[in-house]
Chain A
């Protein structure tokens, strides 16, 4: 495996005495798909929230592309190239699909407010460029026929794809997907898996995702990290983690 793009060292997080993450350490290699698995409440979403700075870890370091952070903030994370989607779609519901995707390009804007407002300088070429990039991603995720629909009117599964499109259009180097397939049927999951694999292969995006469906995880990921009560109970290749007795215990309950 190649160099780690993300390293977590002894990351801990607690909410009013409840330990969400305890001294968690693992690496995510550049270019891989890393799945976080574990029962509900194991700390998976908390972990993603720590990585992109929604939560602040109580202790520990996050090293992203050789830069060490004690605290990263969401805006800063986005600008460094950490994209994400949300467990409960946090889309801009009153905007069209196209506008949602365009909003995802904000961090790449190089024009000043004045240039942009008056349509002078680099603005024209940037607007054209943004339009093309948005259209590309929309086509890539098979959303073209929904491009002008208001997001809140679309079915849940399609909204999940819009969330992915909004994150992908910014060309993140690291993409965090929080249950991208929640509430989907098998066909939709297969389709979503294909989009995630395509993004990983053709764009080279490193992906950290949370998924409950073990079948999907086995087929999709290169690396699996299993959590239980905020602790790491498994870390390695998918097969290896699946056969790990601690992971089985976490999912099925330990035999005493």
Chain B
């Protein structure tokens, strides 16, 4: 039994790591109704900047601050250069723009900072802690703590303020939002800036686990089922979806893997997502569209 619980807890904590990436998607989806394909590149970009600064022996917090400043500058540039000319275009156009954006960010990041694998040490001791019968990774606990803190801050910001209403308004009809005086540009900058911050946190944690390298952009693939299960419009959904994917992955690997000959975790989350698409297409916490026909 304690082995089951240990697997479950380990899986839940690993799932939080996917949630961290998924939150970035949710933010931008809420504010523009667009799936931001460049989220993975932003994670890579933030991690690369941070690790490059650290390798130049810059203090941890200073490096984090400088990286954040660059990510916010990037957000403002994206709003000005990519998003503003596309106001009122179909959402597929915006989506294609983020696809292009992802190549630009990846390319420039690697031209400037190189494509080699960097090791990133956040100074978190990764010795397992004994909790009763089970062992828990200290690193995973830190990641879970970071995700929890992010969720609280973002929920206050987006759910308890009129900013949330303005954001949903923009996602519904940008032109009407402008015509009643909502500062679309400012809000887009804020949201992309916050998504940049979330990318930084995700980039640091993923980077220190996998090494900072191009493959970091592939983390987003694993956050897709998280989004489908949790719902594209809910930060809570991103967390719950992450937990389900994480726990499902590690339990399936252990208990199904033995029957099917292993590597279940490479497809289990996607299979789960397909089931959700069939049963509950808007996800657990997503807004179900209500349309009067």
Residues of chain A having any CB pair with chain B under 8 Å: 52, 54, 73-75, 77-79, 83-84, 86, 90-95, 99-100, 102-104, 106-107, 109, 113, 116-117, 119, 127, 130, 150, 152-155, 166-167, 170
**Which of B156-164, B234-242, B271-279 touches A?**
B156-164
Q: Which of B157, B163, B178 has the most CB of A within 10 A?
A: B178
> Is the Cβ of B173 less than 8 Å from the Cβ of A90?
yes
A106 and B292 contact, CB distance less than 8 A: no
Sort chain B's interface into a size bin: 20 to 34
Cα A166 to Cα B176 with chains together (Å)? 10
Instruction: Quote the shortest CB–CB distance from B197 to chain A (angstroms).
Output: 14
Q: How far is the CA of A110 from the CA of B222 in the complex (A)?
A: 42
Q: Which residues of A contact B289 (CB under 8 A)?
A: 94, 152
Given contacts A90-B176, A103-B166, contact A116 B181 (CB under 8 A): no
- Partner of A167 from B161, B180, B184 at Cβ < 8 Å: B180
Min CB distance B19 to A, Å, is 22
**Which residues from B are CB-within-8-Å of A119?**
160
| Contact present for A84 and B179 (CB under 8 Å) | yes
Measured CB to CB, the closest approach of chain A to B157, in angstroms, equals: 5
User: A106 to B168, alpha carbons, bound, how many Å?
Assistant: 13
Contacts of B180 in A (CB 8 A): 78, 83, 103-104, 106-107, 166-167, 170
Q: Which of A94, A99, A170 has the most CB of B within 10 A?
A: A94
Residues in chain B near residue A79, CB distance under 8 A: 181
Q: Return chain A residues, CB-CB under 8 Å to B161.
A: 113, 116-117
Return chain B residues, CB-CB under 8 Å to A78.
Answer: 178-181
B183 at interface (Cβ–Cβ under 8 A)? yes
A77, B181: Cα distance in complex, Å? 8
Q: Does B63 contact A (CB under 8 A)?
A: no
Complex: chain B residue closest to A99, CB-CB = B165
Q: Which of A86, A95, A166 contacts B168 (CB 8 A)?
A: A95
- B290 contacts A170, C-beta separation under 8 Å: no
Taking CB atoms, residues of chain A closer than 8 Å to B178 are 73-75, 78
Decide if B177 is an interface residue (CB 8 Å cutoff).
yes
| Contact between B175 and A103, CB atoms less than 8 A apart | no
Report chain A residues within 8 Å CB of B162.
102-103, 106, 109, 116, 127, 130
Least CB separation from B287: chain A residue: A94
| A153 engages B292 (CB within 8 Å) | yes
Residues of chain B within 8 A of A84, CB atoms compared: 179
Q: B126 at interface (Cβ–Cβ under 8 A)?
A: no
In the assembled complex, B291 has its CB within 8 A of some CB on chain A: yes
CB distance from B89 to the nearest CB of A (A): 14
Q: Which of B156, B183, B184 has the most CB of A within 10 A?
A: B183
